[in-house]
Chain A
């Protein structure tokens, strides 16, 4: 095949100029590593927000915290705001539990079971209850995954029907014994308002306000809206009626802000790495220009023995293609190794690893080729259009 022959001619000429060739390949490599990692990390961020946060932080919820807490009257105010579908209160206490391996802290969450999916971000209660029921009347509780399963070995340390004793600290310190009606499935940790469902005990609010505290005050009010587009307006309305010192937190707004941040970060990183590709292209342009001058006589010879202008154009462009291809494959290999072994820890438990999607791989290969072929085109065309007599006469 003719193309193969031209490729081997180009390759031979690249090999002859090892220094410059390796320099250019390294340039492409570094640019490709920077570009693919920048895009890959951006992609990984995006994945986390799309797959985890958006699902778990419930886009249609607005969380209101702080102040002295919320009474049923406060909740009723929130419920009257136009566009609000539901409002529920959640009361939370830190407790300690004696486990086999010693005492651990857990979160006692008082919540009507029908709101649990909305609160922790699962589709239905069935998705959350791994064993037993969600029927948490009285002192019946659902125990989070990490509390009934040994986090290290995965063996069952508590079961439905057993009792669990927790100690509540604070002003009204006491010990309370619950009985387990349900075991929670693993939710993957960190959720919503700082509570980790896997490390929580879910109990009936009525029982909570009987046995834990007498004051019917919720630490957290969750406002569920009909339409996420109304979130901004509803936040303003909540602010108007909420008690002094309340903090309003909306996943939608947060996700939007983080997305904007991530997208701009990705764009900036991609732009910076594109500068690398641009610099490499300049290098290729420069190196090709020198090469054409140095090889003027050779071009004259090739023309004299019957090489067409387009053959010579191809020979030179192939050099740029080789440099780009070798550089981007080597760069991608390094990127893949880096993305597999190096992670950026975020949110404590999560590790961000560059996600080299097929699109990114494609871009990292095609972009240097396109820019370098573009850069090489002008010197190559000059080579192709050289007058053979003058080229042969060139010293």
Chain B
């Protein structure tokens, strides 16, 4: 594994078979992500973005092809304990709908990933407070999710994703449910994580304004990579969308 191929996605297929219907969600997706890179995945609804993210995060398995993260061919791991450890230590998930657990406070939600790791309570609290501080929410540690705005909830979710110092953040439309101001706050947090902590980020988004935070954009359509855009090619990317 080199840092250039920190995340390696090689000819990944995902085929759903339901009775007679065969649904090809991914049709041979291949690309690499460098260590410390911030890439975005764009594409129309149903193009397979979430499916791809789930496969990278070890939540789902491809029908064909493989994914390597930091040299570990995660798509080949079937042992539940090993897979869980990978999700717990290597990956931080951020979802469009935040997915906080409503009965717990922000702090307790952020502490959750540390429990199966066996981190002792005081240390856990310390780590969770630090993560909340990174997202600028140390003051809301004892608030429940329903007492917070959407943007704040998403920041708590990000704190939960980073509390265990993952190498990779996988964000599936993290701003999809937020207004533009909250979106900006979230993106600034991502930028900080990326620049200051060197976390590799793969973010699915529909929002063209957000691509400026990213180093590259991977355009997906109908389960295939159409084109990968560098920053210099962003104008071209924007034009294709405006033309439509």
Contact = CB atoms under 8 A, between A and B. Distances in A.
Interface of A: 2, 5-6, 9, 12-13, 16, 297-298, 300-311, 388-389, 392
B93 A305 contact: yes
Interface of B: 54, 57, 59-60, 80-81, 84-89, 93, 95, 99, 101, 103-104, 112-113, 115-118, 121, 160-161, 164
A307 B116 contact: yes
A297 B98 CA distance: 12
Contacts of A13: 103
A12 B88 contact: no
Contact of A305 (B60, B104, B113): B113
Contact of A388 (B59, B88, B89, B161): B59
B80 A9 contact: no
15 contacts: A2-B115, A2-B116, A12-B103, A12-B104, A16-B103, A297-B99, A305-B88, A305-B112, A306-B85, A306-B88, A306-B89, A388-B59, A388-B60, A389-B60, A392-B59
Contact of A298 (B59, B101, B118, B161): B101
Majority SS at the chain A contact face: helix
Given A2-B118, A310-B80, 17 more contacts: A2-B116, A9-B115, A12-B104, A13-B103, A300-B99, A303-B59, A303-B84, A304-B87, A305-B93, A305-B161, A306-B86, A307-B88, A307-B116, A308-B81, A310-B81, A389-B60, A392-B95
Contacts of B81: 308, 310
B69 to A, nearest CB: 14
A306 B103 contact: no
Nearest to B112: A305
Contacts, number: 63
A392 B84 contact: no
A309 B85 CA distance: 12
Contacts of B93: 304-305
Contacts of A310: 80-81
B121 A308 contact: no
B99 A306 contact: no
Given A12-B104, A392-B99, A304 B59 contact: yes
The 8 closest A-B pairs by CB, nearest first: A306-B88, A308-B84, A305-B113, A306-B87, A388-B59, A5-B115, A301-B99, A304-B93
